[in-house]
């Protein structure tokens, strides 16, 4: 990579604030996101960062996965990923070949853990049958509005099978008019709607989340979603009473 990129200091604010989990993919900005991350993490203790990337579904053949991972590592300037994910289910490429490739990446030390994204519980179980390594994570669209992982039994499956469900878009689906039940929670916990939305996810067992922002104010706000736990009855109240719930993702449905 001959290109030098200047990363303004504010691009490291999340790291300086203690964020350690960085989620990217070979497809984000056509690989450029990984190059920017390399610049941002330069000088940080690699062992303290949990770096995640994903292979695009068009690259799920055995050799293509190995090559895609090599390219991601090169762009990221690191010799291993903490977690490597299949980005979406692809019915046109045998899942057994893809899982064999993930096993090989672990054997080679290029990847520490493996997982999938947007998989139904059936495809998650099938993927697990093809690998001797543990699938540790399924990254899916899940938040107060979009409940497909609940409706399709994926949340329960993950919990029962020791798999983390990593919820993407924790706040991106919040409506402009904040629903009454959410307002009540904001008052009770003295938190903002975004903080309640994020905390509703991570207060549930086996659920983690990924938050994205370009604004320092939003970053600071979202960090206020951590280090406290919502009461179980409030988690369940939001689960039941949050209005306009959708049964299926409007963006990437489970496949």
Ligand X SMILES: NC(=O)c1ccc[n+]([C@@H]2O[C@H](COP(=O)([O-])OP(=O)(O)OC[C@H]3O[C@@H](n4cnc5c(N)ncnc54)[C@H](OP(=O)(O)O)[C@@H]3O)[C@@H](O)[C@H]2O)c1
Asked if 57 is part of the footprint of ligand X (rule: CB under 6 A), the reply reads: no
Q: Which of residues 97-156 bind ligand X (CB under 6 A)?
A: 117-118, 139
The angle that helices 193-202 and 216-223 make with each other, rounded to 10 degrees, is 50
Q: Minimum distance from CB of 2 to ligand X (Å)?
A: 27
Spatial CA neighbour of 164 closest among 139, 145, 195, 192: 139
Asked if 215 is part of the footprint of ligand X (rule: CB under 6 A), the reply reads: yes
Asked if 170 is part of the footprint of ligand X (rule: CB under 6 A), the reply reads: yes
Asked if 191 is part of the footprint of ligand X (rule: CB under 6 A), the reply reads: no
Asked if 214 is part of the footprint of ligand X (rule: CB under 6 A), the reply reads: yes
Asked if 218 is part of the footprint of ligand X (rule: CB under 6 A), the reply reads: yes
Cβ count within 10 A of residue 146? 24
Asked if 199 is part of the footprint of ligand X (rule: CB under 6 A), the reply reads: no
Q: Give the interface segment with ligand X, choosing from 2-10, 162-170, 176-184, 227-235 (CB under 6 A).
A: 162-170
Asked if 212 is part of the footprint of ligand X (rule: CB under 6 A), the reply reads: yes
Q: Is 167 exposed, middle or buried (0-12, 13-18, 19+ CB in 10 A)?
A: buried
d(CA 53, CA 39): 16
């960085």: which residue's tokens? 22
Q: Minimum distance from CB of 150 to ligand X (Å)?
A: 18
d(CA 220, CA 199): 14
Q: Which residues bind ligand X (CB under 6 A)?
A: 23, 117-118, 139, 168-172, 194, 210-215, 218, 221-222, 252
């Amino acid at each position: 990579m001959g290109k030098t990129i200047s990363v303004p200091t504010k691009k490291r604010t999340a790291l300086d604030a203690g964020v350690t989990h960085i989620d990217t993919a070979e497809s984000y900005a056509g690989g450029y996101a990984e190059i920017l991350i390399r610049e941002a993490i330069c000088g940080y203790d690699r062992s303290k960062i949990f770096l995640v990337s994903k292979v695009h579904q068009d690259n799920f053949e055995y050799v293509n996965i190995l090559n895609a991972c090599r390219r991601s590592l090169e762009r990221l300037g690191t010799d291993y990923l903490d977690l490597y994910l299949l980005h979406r289910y692809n019915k046109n490429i045998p899942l057994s070949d893809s899982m064999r490739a993930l096993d090989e990446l672990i054997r080679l030390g290029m990847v520490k853990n493996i997982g999938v994204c947007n998989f139904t519980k059936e495809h998650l179980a099938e993927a697990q049958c093809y690998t001797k390594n543990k699938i540790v994570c399924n990254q899916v669209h899940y938040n107060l509005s979009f409940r497909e992982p609940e409706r399709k039994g994926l949340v329960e499956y993950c919990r029962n099978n020791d798999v983390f469900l990593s919820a993407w878009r924790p706040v991106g689906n919040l409506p402009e008019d904040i629903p009454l039940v959410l307002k009540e929670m904001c008052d009770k916990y003295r938190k903002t709607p975004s903080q309640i939305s994020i905390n509703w996810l991570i207060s549930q067992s086996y659920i983690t989340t990924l938050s994205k922002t370009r604004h320092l104010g939003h970053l600071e706000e979202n960090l206020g979603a951590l280090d406290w736990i919502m009461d179980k009855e409030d988690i369940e109240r939001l689960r039941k009473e949050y209005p306009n719930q959708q049964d299926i993702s409007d963006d990437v449905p489970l496949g």
